Amino acid sequence: MSITLQEQPTTDRGFWNDTGKTGIGSWIFSTDHKRIGLLYFYSVLGFFLVGVVLGLLLRLELMAPGRDLMSAQTYNALFTVHGVVMIFLFIIPGIPGAFGNMVMPIQIGAADVSFPRLNLFSWWLYVIGTVLVLLSLFTGGGAPDTGWTFYVPFSARTGTNVSLALFGVFILGFSSILTGLNFVTTIHRLRAEGMTWSRIPLFTWSLYATAWVQILATPILGITLVLVIAERMLGTGLFDAARGGDPIMFQHLFWIYSHPAVYIMILPAMGIISEIIPVFSRKPIFGYKMIAFSSLAIAAAGSLVWGHHMFTSGMSDTAVLVFSFLTFIVAIPSAIKVFNWVSTLYRGSISLDPPMLFALTFILLFSIGGLTGLILGAAATDVHVHDTYFVVGHFHYVMFGGTGFAFFAAMHYWLPKFYGRTYKTRPAVIAWGLMFVGFNLLYFSMKVLGMQGMPRRYYDYLPEFANLNMVATVGSWILAIGLVLMLVNLFKGLFKGAPFTGNPWGGATLEWSTPTPPPTLNFITEPVVTHGPYDYTALKHDVREADSGVTP
Amino acid sequence: MTTHSDEHHIISYRKLTGIWLILLVLTALTVAITRIDLGGFKVAGALTIACIKAGLVIAFFMHMKYENRLLQILLFVAVVTLAIFIGFTFFDVLYR
């Protein structure tokens, strides 16, 4: 890999300047994958913050029993919108759209994705879908109050503006499919010379597995949502038992997509962790092939387990047994990843820079979330905790503690590369500490509350749940303070911070071999790959000494 | 990767017309079997004919027969996935 040849910092700010075009048109109509990645990044980050504010409001309402802040109907609408925004506007497009677009083509040595215009189109579809979802909040019968899962029969009957929200999500689905299509084609067709399948960085491998899930599962969500719209507008009766339909069929169709969608959310996050752990341990990744294979295995096995969301819905006992068994199988490739990350850390020369802190936190929080997932995956125990706060705690551990923290890790790891400036370490570490403490106060309390029997989605609760709810709400404030501090420090650094040049962390993947920020075509000369992505012996110099001017 | 060959296989009009005629015959057959009392096999029969038709369209009109092995495998994976999705759902309905 021609790492040392292209390491000089650019003086012309790379892709920010080198097309000679300025203004908003040079961004929103750009086909450069890095610009589209940044468009995605700021869009999803914006909606993440919207979702955070909604979540804080929910926690405020739940701070004490009884009515504190809002009516029950507003509460129903808020948790629905919190879910829809976080799932469909942040976490599904988040990592593939933002960091997948920014980093993946560079990692495989390509100048861009296979279909740059389609890539831009997928961002526009995201924007259109988003606008429709947001419109649905303020028009018609008001914000949807079904929960993000849109379960029939309620979603077919409620007077709120469910149809428009469903249509918005339908369009967002197409954005996801196109991104997946683009990534599969790019990874198959545009790899640089020498970039064999066993030299593909693990982040790209995880995006590849994710892309397949996006392509194969998302159309089913589209069809399902259209069927609910048809149910509402045409009264087709497909999900109405009184007219020969089957409401459980909706749950099947919905979860055939929405469970694999969980892997659309977590797999790229695992890819980020697989990049960061070896770099900050100064050690090649342990079990490269097994990690790559486990991404594919998770994608495949994860597509067969949707029934575990329906153990108490009236599904047949035989199906419950089969889905429960298959759910346990998914734990195997997930554990392979965790064990391989830990083995990579073993006897490594670990440096606790902010990206590494977030990555290590991912391993802990994801493991807690994953193991509580097994309690839910076992049919017998699930009956007890189904639809309690235990479930809410579980998926926030996996989705926020997992994907969210991986997203923050990626922000601290890759964004300086694209901005050519970096943040201060100390505030980032303090922010990480606050978030870690706040996170666990907030969501661990939820798990305990769930074990005690507090149902999810309820507006009010019994007095015996009051203490832990107060703890959770205080935790949400600490988490929010940490989040604000992290973002302020990061963006202050990216726009005004110390220059970031070269390869200060000593990554061996191709993105660290291009100029900083990368030029529009990514590489000055076409790269030829001669070694694997974690082969640090091939990096000859001690990067920390070579780039002593940089304080990451 | 540079293994992709850009040669396009040209299918003769004769062959395309032949496939089209077979599709028409199969369509007629779909209609015809509804008039025979096959009992429970009626749906199976209709689905079998539909699968054959879809296969012909994919193989010839969509050129899949002449594509490289990789594309064929990818399509196969997609079809198998769909079959599993439908199959597992029926698993619930059959034993409910």
CA distance B66 to B49: 23
CB A329 within 8 A of CB A297: no
Task: Give Cα B42 distance to the centre of its chain.
Answer: 18
Give the pLDDT confidence score for residue A502 in this predicted structure.
Answer: 84
**pLDDT tens readout for residues A76-91:** 999 999 999 999 999 9
**Mean pLDDT computed over A10-27:** 83
Of B78, B82, B91, the CB nearest to A318: B91
CATH architecture entry for A4-546: Up-down Bundle (1.20)
Task: Give Cα A441 distance to the centre of its chain.
Answer: 22
Q: Model pTM?
A: 0.90
CA distance A491 to A41: 13
C-alpha distance from A275 to closest chain B C-alpha (Å): 23
Give the pLDDT confidence score for residue B37 in this predicted structure.
Answer: 80
Structure tokens at A503: 């390869």
Give the pLDDT confidence score for residue A30 in this predicted structure.
Answer: 94
CA distance A483 to A405: 11
Give the pLDDT confidence score for residue A196 in this predicted structure.
Answer: 94
Give the pLDDT confidence score for residue B8 in this predicted structure.
Answer: 67
Torsion of CA A290, A291, A295, A296, to 10 degrees: -20
In Å, the largest CA–CA distance within chain A is: 74
**pLDDT tens readout for residues A444-470:** 999 999 999 999 999 999 999 999 999
CA distance A5 to A214: 37
**pLDDT tens readout for residues A388-403:** 999 999 999 999 999 9
**All structural domains of chain A with their residue ranges:** 4-546
First to last CA, chain A: 24
B88 vs A304: CB contact, 8 Å cut-off? Answer: yes
pLDDT value at A491 more than 50:
yes
Give the pLDDT confidence score for residue A538 in this predicted structure.
Answer: 75
**All structural domains of chain B with their residue ranges:** 12-62, 67-96
Structure tokens at A354: 């902010």
pLDDT value at A279 more than 90:
yes
**pLDDT tens readout for residues A298-308:** 998 998 999 99
Q: How confident is the model at residue A281 (pLDDT cuts 50, 70, 90)?
A: very high
**Mean pLDDT computed over A223-243:** 92
Element holding A498 (H helix, E strand): strand A498-499
pLDDT value at B4 more than 70:
no
CB A257 within 8 A of CB A251: no
Chain B contact set for A248 (CB, 8 A): 92
- Average pLDDT across chain A, whole number: 91
- The verdict on B88 touching A (C-beta cutoff 8 Å) is yes
Query: Worst-scoring range by mean pLDDT, A42-46, A350-354, A450-454, B72-76?
Result: B72-76
Q: How confident is the model at residue A6 (pLDDT cuts 50, 70, 90)?
A: very low
The A residues from 476 to 495 touching B (CB cutoff 8 Å) are none
CA distance A396 to A369: 8
Give the pLDDT confidence score for residue B6 in this predicted structure.
Answer: 52
The interface predicted TM-score of the complex, written ipTM, equals 0.74
Give the pLDDT confidence score for residue A366 in this predicted structure.
Answer: 95
Chain A contact set for B95 (CB, 8 A): 316-319
Q: How confident is the model at residue B3 (pLDDT cuts 50, 70, 90)?
A: very low
Place of tokens 């914000």: A143
Give the pLDDT confidence score for residue A549 in this predicted structure.
Answer: 39
**pLDDT tens readout for residues A37-76:** 999 999 999 999 999 999 999 999 999 999 988 999 999 9
Give the pLDDT confidence score for residue B44 in this predicted structure.
Answer: 81
3-state secondary structure A172-209: HHHHHHHHHHHHHHHHHHCCCECCCHHHCCHHHHHHHH
**pLDDT tens readout for residues A149-181:** 999 889 998 889 999 999 999 999 999 999 999
Helices (H), B1-96: 13-33, 41-56, 69-95
